[in-house]
Structure 1
Amino acid sequence: MTHPCRRSTRRSALAVAAIATLLAAPMACAPDGKDGDGESVLTGVVHVGTSFDHPGFSLHAQRTNRGLDVDIASYLGEEVGFTPKFQDVTIDAREQELREGAADLVISVYSITPERQKLVDFVGPYLMTRQGFLVREDYDGIKSEQDVRNKLLCSAEKSTSSTADLPPGATFHEERDFSTCVRKLQQGSVDAVFSDEALLFGYAQQQRRSKVPLRVVPDVSFGLTNRYGIGLQKGHADDCRKLLRALRTYLVEEWAGDVKVQLPALVDAYPADWENRFKPNPHDLNTYSSCKK
């Protein structure tokens, strides 16, 4: 059970972090001494790269950031001892921001892959998800894997979804971000948005009262299971272990409650087994993290 004071303190830390976000430049550089020399980057104000347009995970609106990725950053800040300062990062710039020191951490639906692990370190996963399809609520053109043939699908450049092996005839239309894909879907320019199922539930929740509501197609998936991790610059093994210990505690104490709050559409879609589908096995943290406890 979560200690009552911990929840209160953590939310206060989130408020402080939200205020700090307003002062952050989009490409703010990390403070001196945080350039991969092995010194800890997890002190004072820590620059956290996250997307500002991923509803359910990290959405910048009404002068604050909210979502599961924001909750995780705030929890880690409280446990380890730093204040997160959020800055927007695009999918194609995550490794660059970490390697150049523009961001100390990236928590942004950042899938752990062997290719990315060659460039940056990871702690995680904190969520696992299959890849699926977001469609207009009244569209019934995709009911099974076979229906994906000859469909026009939108995905974001350099995302793991953009490299998935789909049936013959399926065509990718790539945009810089998934929000643009969602707009094209609502306009009828594409048949579906193809991405991580968990992320798509965030967009479905966001658009539930719009003129063109959306839904995630149940039990239709292609590609690999993606595992979201916390990215950090290589050369900070002590910081990696601190984050790993804190994340283990988060998965036990806070994960389920935060997912229920931030991704209610996901929970509603799989009421009997949403935790089994999306919550990582504790052993996965040893398998996929760049450091060990």
Structure 2
Amino acid sequence: MTRALSLGLRGSALLAAAALSLTACSSSGSDSTDAEETPAAAAGTTLQEIQDAGVLTIGTEGTYSPFSFHEGGNGDLIGYDVEIAEAVAAELGVEAEFEETQFDGIFAGLEAGRFDMIANQISINPTRLEKYEMSEPYTVSPGVLIVTEDTTDIASFEDLAGKTTAQSLTSNWYELAEQNGAKVEAVEGFAQAVQLLQQGRVDATINDSLTLLDYQKQQGPSGLKIAAETDDPSENAFALRKGSTELLEAVNGALATLREDGTIASISEKYFGEDVSQ
């Protein structure tokens, strides 16, 4: 479940009411402490195994709007990541089957073999590249530092020193907050982070800009503002088990086709009003 924008927007990731990263920040959105790796990790998945089964099993939160969520809270699973993953599966000639799980356990599920791939605004970072196979990115979004509108003493990431932020412990933004001297209050997702921020129980939260954009679109005026944004945008991709190299090549080939024929841009426009895939 590595999850810029100006209060109105920009284009990159966000989150909705309910479980509303995310990501990562995004996001989730996503983080450096993907330490859910199990002692006996499952082997990589081959393309042949997927095609023989006729199914690509995909781990996702199901509560991370607009990327992976249930319309109206209990309708069908929909979202930007869901539709991109479904399109990739179709290119591979198989069905997409989703396994919903909380973000904090999503990497453990991948390692244990519960699913073949994660589609949940997973940010690409060095730690993840070491542990997992990461596809080409299908979302590009800067990270943003979010505070309440009346905040005057936080105008940069460096100003987080001695402050408290609300972050998912398995997101990239957790690492960024700690690197800048913040004390981190663990939360399950962006909605909870925003709630703590609006209640004055934390000083800030970091996530990707699309997550904030979606939240504001869904909730209306939020009393929040962006204090700063990261210099480098977060690139979000599918994560597969280490050793799934042939499957990874097929997924990247599918993404290239979907990019060329305009499918990704179309899905992006549907959810964000612009192409956030590059």
Query: Under a length normalisation based on structure 2, what TM-score does the superposition of the two structures give?
Result: 0.71
Structure 1 counterpart of 2:176: 164
Distance in 2 (alpha carbons) for counterparts of 1:118 and 1:140: 38
Q: 1:62 to 1:149 in 2, by over 3 A?
A: same
Give 2:264's aligned residue. Answer: 255
Question: Could you tell me how far apart the structure 1 residues matched to 2:59 and 2:266 are?
Answer: 23
Three-state SS of the structure 1 residue aligned to 2:109 is: helix
Could you say which residue in structure 1 is the equivalent of 2:242? 234
1:255-274, Cα deviation, whole Å (9 max, x unpaired): 2322222134xx5xxxxxxx
Compared CA separation, residues 186 and 53, structure 1 to 2 (3 A): farther
Quickly say closer, same or farther: Cα 1:187–1:66, change in 2 above 3 A: farther
Kindly provide the CA deviation profile for residues 138-158 of structure 1, in whole angstroms up to 9, marking residues without a partner as x.
Answer: 545478327656643211112
Q: Which residue of 2 aligns with 1:279?
A: 277
Q: 1:104, CA displacement in angstroms?
A: 1.2
For residue 172 of structure 1, report the CA deviation from its aligned partner.
Answer: 2.8
Q: Is the contact made by 1:49 and 1:86 (CA closer than 8 Å) also made in structure 2?
A: yes
Q: How many residues align?
A: 231
Query: Aligned letter for 2:268?
Result: V
Deviation (angstroms), 1:203: 2.2
Q: What amino acid is the match of 1:158?
A: T
Q: Aligned pair in 2 of structure 1 residues 116, 147: CA closer, same or farther (>3 Å)?
A: closer
Q: C-alpha displacement at 1:56, in angstroms? A: 1.4
Question: Residue in 1 aligned with 2:252?
Answer: 244
Alignment partner of 1:217 is 2:226: yes
Shift of the 234–169 alpha-carbon distance from structure 1 to 2, 3 Å rule, reads: closer
| Change beyond 3 A, Cα 1:142–1:104 | farther
Q: Indicate conservation of the 8 Å contact 2:45/2:241, yes or no.
A: no
TM-score for both structures, normalised by structure 1: 0.68
Contact 1:155 1:194 in 2 (8 A): yes
User: Distance in 2 between the 1:149 and 1:204 partners?
Assistant: 27
Q: What's 1:125 paired with?
A: 137
| 8 Å CA contact 1:57, 1:199 repeated in 2 | no
Q: Quote the offset at 1:217 in angstroms.
A: 1.7
- In angstroms, what is the RMSD of aligned CA positions? 2.9
**Residues 143, 217 of structure 1: 8 Å contact kept:** no
Percent identity over the alignment is: 23
Match of 2:188 among 176, 183, 191: 176
Change (3 A) 1:196 1:186: same
Are residues 37 and 158 of structure 1, via their aligned partners in 2, closer, same or farther at CA, if it must alter by over 3 Å?
A: closer
Runs in 1 of length 4+ with deviation above 6 angstroms? Answer: 166-169
Residues 245 and 150 (structure 1), Cα distance of their counterparts in 2 relative to 1, 3 Å cut: same
In the TM superposition, what is the alpha-carbon distance from 1:35 to its structure 2 partner? 5.0
CA contact (8 A) 2:142 2:229 kept: yes
Structure with more of its chain in helix, by fraction: 1
- Amino acid paired to 1:207: Q
CA distance in 2, matches of 1:167, 1:113: 15
Q: Secondary structure at the match of 2:142?
A: strand
Higher Cα Rg, which structure: 1
- Give yes or no for contact 1:54–1:202 (8 Å, CA) kept in 2: no
Higher relative contact order (CA 8 A, sep 6+): 2
Structure 1 stretches of 5 or more lacking a match?
A: 1-33, 268-274, 281-293
Unaligned segments of structure 2, at least 5 residues: 1-41
1:96 correspondence with 2:104: no
Q: Which residue of 2 aligns with 1:196?
A: 208
